[in-house]
Amino acid sequence: MTSATQLLASIEGVGRDPRRGGFSRHGFDRVELELREWFLAEAERRGLAVRGDRNGNLWAWWGEPGPGAIVTGSHLDSVPGGGAFDGPLGVVSALSAVDMLRERGFTPAKPLAVVVFAEEEGGRFGVPCLGSRLLSGAIDPDTARRLADPDGVTLADAVTAAGLDPARLGRDDDVLATIGTFVELHVEQGRGLVDLGAPVAVASSILAHGRWRFRFTGEGNHAGATLLGDRHDPMVPAAEMVLAARIAAADVEDARATVGRLVPNPGGTNVIASSVDVWLDARAPDDAATRRVLEKIRTMASDAVHREGCVLTVTEESYGDTVHFEPGLRDRIAAALGGIPVLPTGAGHDAGVLAAHVPTAMLFVRNPTGVSHAPEEYAEPADCESGVTALAAVLGQLAG
């Protein structure tokens, strides 16, 4: 049996980002394609037959693919400068759990698959959970095909380069129909398990989550020669919008709003920008609360735009409502694992997208600092092994 930690070590050289630190692995880029090759080799080593679906997700089958399958897995892409665990831990734990079940002589009565979803973070094309959204019809394929990365490469171009037919992107009922139950294991992205002193939890819910692009348009001009009163500098309302995000989120219980990306055009030290793109990530316990946060930010940004004589356009790039994982499945899993904790999360997952279509559950593995989406993200090897043991027990029960 290969442990999760050993499997993670086998990809620790792939996609390191010397500039940002950590890893930059994005959907269908050279690095993610290398990780896909790694996954193919690991599946082959285990005699699992890999099939790629129409949307760039990979499925490694133990047994004949068919309805009622028990599916586990996660993603291999990362945020820019991300950690080693968000995504890969779910994939390596799935492979290791297969090893563990086999060593025990277990033969699944139902088909079992390990899945790798494409572009979960949206680190390249902006929309999170792109592979599972396409598969389940949660994004219109025409919209998806037109998504472009920061270099202007469209998703259609990227999947073509990866050997897929962009015309076939979109909801895939044949693949969806094979999934009986989906269980995703993930590193915890918070300190819930640390506080509880437990290595593994089962998920209860995911916050509603949207991403919006605020484009502030002004007048490009000279940083030295343009009098303050003559300026239409879009960076000024953009900066006010960053502060508005904090103010608006603080006003709504358990809401979060983040600006992690801001791009001035053309972007010169001695140039008043002609436009600034600011991406807002806002999350809250339900749809109404998330929309309240957004509207407050939009109002404050509009006022700031008006004062500076600029123009604002807001585009919704993705949205997902609150997810409540199926309580029956969640409670059965918690009980079968000896009454492990049940925890909510503010992070998005492919499991959250699939939960609208199939019985879905998640397991979280303790993260000693709670840090995630950063190079410091971590899980102790012993906790990773607890995660694999828990996942193997769940898969064994569901597929037995």
Q: Which listed option, ligand GLV, Mn ion, none, makes contact with residue 128 (CB within 5 to 8 Å by class)? A: ligand GLV
Rounded Cα–Cα distance for residues 32 and 206 (Å): 26
Nearer to ligand GLV, 119 or 121 (CB): 121
- Least separation in angstroms between residue 83's CB and ligand GLV is 11
Name which of 27 and 128 has its Cβ closer to ligand GLV: 128
Question: Residue 38: helix, strand or coil by DSSP?
Answer: helix
Cβ-proximal residues to 213 (8 Å cutoff; 6+ apart), any chain: 277, 278, 279, 280, 314, 315, 317
Residue 73 binds to Mn ion (criterion: CB under 5 A):
no
- Report in angstroms how near the CB of residue 121 gets to ligand GLV at its nearest: 6
For residue 218, state whether it binds Mn ion (rule: CB under 5 A). no
Name the residue number minimizing CB distance to Mn ion. 86
Residues 75-104 that bind Mn ion (CB under 5 A): 86-87
* Residue 123 is a binding residue for Mn ion (CB under 5 A): no
The distance of Cα 391 from the centroid of its chain, to the nearest Å, equals 20
From ligand GLV, Mn ion, none, interface partner of 206 (C-beta below 5 to 8 A by class): none
Alpha-helical regions (H) of 251-326: 287-308
Q: Which of Mn ion, ligand GLV, none interacts with 341 (beta carbon under 5 to 8 A by kind)?
A: none
**Judged by CB under 5 A, does residue 53 bind Mn ion?**
no
**If 0-12 CB within 10 Å is exposed, 13-18 middle and 19+ buried, where does residue 162 land?**
middle
87 binds, among Mn ion, ligand GLV, none (CB under 5 to 8 A by kind): Mn ion
The distance of closest approach from Cβ of residue 187 to ligand GLV in the complex, given in angstroms and rounded to an integer, is 10
Evaluate whether 393 touches 336 at the Cβ level (below 8 Å): yes
Is 80 or 237 the residue whose CB approaches Mn ion more closely?
80
Select 235 or 259, whichever has its Cβ closest to ligand GLV. Answer: 259
- Residues of the shown chain interacting with ligand GLV in the complex, contacts defined by CB under 6 A: 121, 128, 347-348
Of 320, 91, 61, nearest to 179 (Cα)? 61
- By C-beta, is 336 or 371 nearer to Mn ion? 371
From 77, 119, 112, select the one nearest 94 (Cα to Cα): 112
Q: Give the integer Cα–Cα distance in Å for 57 and 28.
A: 11
Distance, in Å, from the CA atom of 25 to the CA atom of 292, rounded to the nearest integer, reads 33
80 is in the binding site of which of ligand GLV, Mn ion, none (Cβ under 5 to 8 A by kind)? none
Is 32 or 240 the residue whose CB approaches Mn ion more closely?
32
Cα separation, 388 vs 400, in Å, equals: 17
CB of 28 to ligand GLV, least distance (A): 18
State how beta strands 256-265 and 275-284 pair.
Answer: antiparallel
- Smallest separation (angstroms) from Mn ion to the CB of 345: 10
Strands 69-75 and 58-62: unpaired
Neighbours of 34 (CB within 10 A): 16
Name the amino acid, one letter, at 266: P
Contact call for residue 234 and Mn ion (CB under 5 A): no
In angstroms, what is the minimal distance from the CB of 41 to ligand GLV?
26
In the complex, least distance from residue 77 CB atom to ligand GLV, rounded to whole angstroms: 10
Residue count (the chain):
400
In terms of DSSP H, where are the helices of the chain?
4-9, 30-45, 88-103, 130-136, 141-146, 155-161, 173-178, 192-196, 235-250, 287-308, 327-336, 350-354, 381-399
Which residue type is seen at 69? A
Nearest approach, Cβ of residue 93 and ligand GLV (Å): 17
When the beta carbons of 50 and 379 are compared against ligand GLV, the nearer one is 379
Which of ligand GLV, Mn ion, none lies near 15, with the C-beta cut-off 5 to 8 A by kind? none
Partnered with residue 280 across adjacent β-strands are: 212, 259
Report, in Å, the least distance between residue 320 CB and Mn ion. Answer: 13
**Between 235 and 255, CB nearer to ligand GLV:** 255
Q: Which lies closer to Mn ion via its Cβ, residue 32 or residue 86?
A: 86
Cα–Cα nearest to 350, from 96, 77, 143 = 77
Binding at 348: pick from Mn ion, ligand GLV, none (beta carbon under 5-8 Å per type): ligand GLV
Choice between 73 and 180, CB closer to Mn ion = 73
Nearest approach, Cβ of 350 to ligand GLV (angstroms)? Answer: 10
Measured CA to CA, the distance from residue 5 to residue 383 in angstroms comes to: 10
Q: Can you give the binding site for Mn ion, defined by CB under 5 A? A: 86-87
